Amino acid sequence: MPAILRGISSNTMAAMLKLFILLVLQLTISCNSEPFPINVWPIPTSISWPSPKATTISPAFQISALYAHKHLRAAVKRHESLLFSEGYQPIVPPSLPISPTPLLSLTLHITDTQAPLHHGVDESYSLTISSSNGVANLSSTTVWGAIRGLESFSQLSWGNPPLIATDLYIHDRPLFPHRGLMLDTSRNFYPVEDIMRIIATVGANKLNVFHWHITDSQSFPLVLPTEPKLAAAGSYGPDMQYSQEDVKKIVDFAMSYGVRVVPEFDTPGHSLSWAGAYPEIVTCANQFWLPNGPSDRAHRLGAGPGTGQLNPLQPRTYEVLHNVFNDSASLFPDPFFHSGADELNPLCWSSDPSIQSFLSSGHNLSQLLQRFISDTHPFLVSLNRTVVYWEDILLDSTIQVPSSLIPPSTTILQTWNNGINNTKKLVGAGYRVIVSSADFYYLDCGHGGYLGNYSAYDASPEHTSWCGPFKTWERIYDYDIVEGLTEKEKVLVIGGEVALWSEQADGTVLDGRVWPRAAALAESMWSGNRDENGRRRTAMATDRLMDWRHRMVGRGVRAEPIQPLWCRRNPGMCNFNA
Amino acid sequence: MAAMLKLFIVLVLQLTISCNSEPLPINVWPIPTSISWPSPMAATISPAFRIFAPFTNKHLRAAVRRHARLLFSEHYQPIVAPSLPVSPIPLLSLTLHITDIHAPLHHGVDESYSLTISSYHGVANLSSTTVWGAIRGLESFSQLSWGSPPLIATDLYIHDRPLFPHRGLMLDTSRNYYSVPDIMRTIATMGANKLNVFHWHITDSHSFPLVLPSEPNLAAAGSYGPDMQYSPEDVKKIVDFAMSHGVRVVPEFDTPGHSLSWAGAYPEIVTCANKFWLPNGLNDWAHRLAAEPGTGQLNPLHPRTYEVLHNVFRDSASLFPDPFFHSGADELTPFCWSSDPSIQSFLSSGHTLSQLLQRFISDTHPFILSLNRTVVYWEDILLDPTIHVPFSLIPPSTTILQTWNNGINNTKQLVAAGYRVIVSSSDFYYLDCGHGDFVGNDSAYDVVSDLKTNGQSWCGPFKTWERIYDYDIVEGLGEKEKELVIGGEVVLWSEQADGTVLDGRVWPRAAALAEAMWSGNRDEKGRRRTAMATDRLMDWRHRMVGRGVRAEPIQPLWCRRNHGMCNLNA
pLDDT tens by residue, A385-405: 999 999 999 999 999 999 999
Q: What is the pLDDT of residue B416?
A: 97
Span A110-114, average pLDDT: 98
Torsion of CA B304, B309, B312, B315, to 10 degrees: -100
- The SS3 call for residue A129 is strand
Backbone phi, psi, residue B440, to 5°: -80, 170
Cβ contacts of B347 within 8 Å, gap of 6 or more: B338, B353, B356
Q: What is the pLDDT of residue A463?
A: 58
Q: What is the pLDDT of residue B20?
A: 41
Nearest beta carbon to residue A478 from set B446, B463, B501: B446
Q: What is the pLDDT of residue B19?
A: 38
Q: Cβ of A293 and B570 within 8 Å?
A: yes
Nearest beta carbon to residue A451 from set B274, B462, B566: B566
Backbone phi, psi, residue A5, to 5°: -100, 0
Best residue in A284, A435, A475, A536 for a mutation probing chain B (most B CBs within 10 Å): A475
Residues in chain B with pLDDT values less than 70: 1-21, 449, 453-455
* Nearest CA among B68, B58, B59 for reference residue B91: B68
Q: Which helix (H) or strand (E) holds A240?
A: none
Runs of H (alpha helix) within B285-333: 303-319
CA–CA gap between residue B85 and residue B107 (Å, rounded):
42
**Apex CA B553: angle with CA A512 and CA A222, to 5°?**
90
Q: What is the pLDDT of residue A29?
A: 41
Contact list in B for residue A294 (CB cut-off 8 A) is 568-569
Identify the closest residue of chain B to A418 by CA–CA distance. Answer: B451
Q: What is the pLDDT of residue B456?
A: 73
CA–CA gap between residue A385 and residue A375 (Å, rounded):
14
By mean pLDDT, which of A50-59, A190-199, A452-461, A567-576 is the weakest? A452-461
Name the pairing type of β-strands B324-328 and B248-255: parallel
Q: What is the pLDDT of residue B453?
A: 67
Q: Cβ of A446 and B434 within 8 Å?
A: yes
Question: Using one digit for the tens of pLDDT, what is the confidence trace for A178-211?
Answer: 999 999 999 999 999 999 999 999 999 999 999 9
CB pairs under 8 A between A and B: 263
By mean pLDDT, which of A14-18, A423-427, B337-341 is the weakest? A14-18
CA–CA gap between residue A146 and residue A169 (Å, rounded):
15
Strand order in the sheet with A53-64: A46-48, A168-172, A125-130, A135-142, A98-112, A53-64, A163-166, A157-158
Around A397, how many Cα atoms within 13 Å sit in the side-chain half-sphere? 1
Contact list in A for residue B445 (CB cut-off 8 A) is 472, 474-475, 477-478, 538
Contact list in B for residue A509 (CB cut-off 8 A) is 501, 504, 550, 552-553
CA–CA gap between residue A578 and residue A571 (Å, rounded):
10
Nearest beta carbon to residue B456 from set A289, A469, A502: A469
Q: What is the pLDDT of residue A459?
A: 66
Query: How many angstroms separate the CA of residue A61 from the nearest CA in chain B?
Result: 31
Q: What is the pLDDT of residue B254?
A: 98
CB B546 within 8 A of CB B503: no
CA–CA gap between residue A264 and residue A227 (Å, rounded):
16
Top-confidence residue, A10 or B137 = B137
Backbone phi, psi, residue B170, to 5°: -100, 130
**Rg, chain A, Cα only:** 25
Q: Cβ of B434 and A447 within 8 Å?
A: yes
Give me the amino acid identity at B284.
D
Runs of H (alpha helix) within B100-215: 131-143, 180-192
Q: What is the pLDDT of residue B15?
A: 41
CB B258 within 8 A of CB B205: yes
Predicted complex: ipTM over 0.90: yes
Q: Cβ of B445 and A536 within 8 Å?
A: no
Question: Using one digit for the tens of pLDDT, what is the confidence trace for A289-327?
Answer: 999 988 898 899 999 999 999 999 999 999 999 999 999
Cβ contacts of B101 within 8 Å, gap of 6 or more: B54, B56, B57, B60, B130, B131
Cβ contacts of B89 within 8 Å, gap of 6 or more: B43, B119, B120, B121, B122
Q: What is the pLDDT of residue A32?
A: 40
By mean pLDDT, which of A62-71, A225-234, B437-446 is the weakest? B437-446
Q: In a 10 Å sphere around its CB, with 0-12 CB exposed, 13-18 middle and 19+ buried, how is residue B55 labelled?
A: exposed
CA–CA gap between residue A257 and residue A197 (Å, rounded):
11
Q: What is the pLDDT of residue B55?
A: 84
Backbone phi, psi, residue B120, to 5°: -65, -45
Q: In a 10 Å sphere around its CB, with 0-12 CB exposed, 13-18 middle and 19+ buried, how is residue B257 labelled?
A: buried
Other C-beta atoms lying within 10 Å of the C-beta of residue A402: 10
First-to-last CA distance in chain B? Answer: 43
Span A47-52, average pLDDT: 95
Cβ contacts of B375 within 8 Å, gap of 6 or more: B325, B326, B327, B365, B368, B369, B394, B398, B399, B400
Best residue in B21, B274, B552 for a mutation probing chain A (most A CBs within 10 Å): B552
Nearest beta carbon to residue A574 from set B177, B439, B556: B439
Backbone phi, psi, residue B115, to 5°: -130, 130
Query: How many angstroms separate the CA of residue A446 from the nearest CA in chain B?
Result: 7
CB A169 within 8 A of CB A138: no
CA–CA gap between residue B306 and residue A270 (Å, rounded):
66
**Apex CA A294: angle with CA A292 and CA A296, to 5°?**
55
List B268, B331, B379, B552, catalytic entry: B331
Q: Cβ of A464 and B434 within 8 Å?
A: yes
- The SS3 call for residue B91 is strand
> Does the structure show a pLDDT above 80 at A460?
no
Q: What is the pLDDT of residue A464?
A: 63
CB A338 within 8 A of CB A388: yes
CB A193 within 8 A of CB A183: no
Give percent of chain A above pLDDT 70: 93
Q: What is the pLDDT of residue A461?
A: 59
Contact list in A for residue B451 (CB cut-off 8 A) is 419, 439
Residue A474 bears catalytic tag = no
CA–CA gap between residue A433 and residue A485 (Å, rounded):
12
Give me the amino acid identity at A106.
L
Query: How many angstroms separate the CA of residue B419 from the nearest CA in chain A?
Result: 27
- Mind giving me the DSSP string for A201-238? HHHHTT--EEEEEEE-SS---B--SS-HHHHHHHSS-G
Q: What is the DSSP letter of A133?
A: T
Q: What is the pLDDT of residue B22?
A: 72
**Rg, chain B, Cα only:** 25
Q: What is the pLDDT of residue A21?
A: 45
Q: What is the pLDDT of residue A453?
A: 86
Strand partners, A267: A340
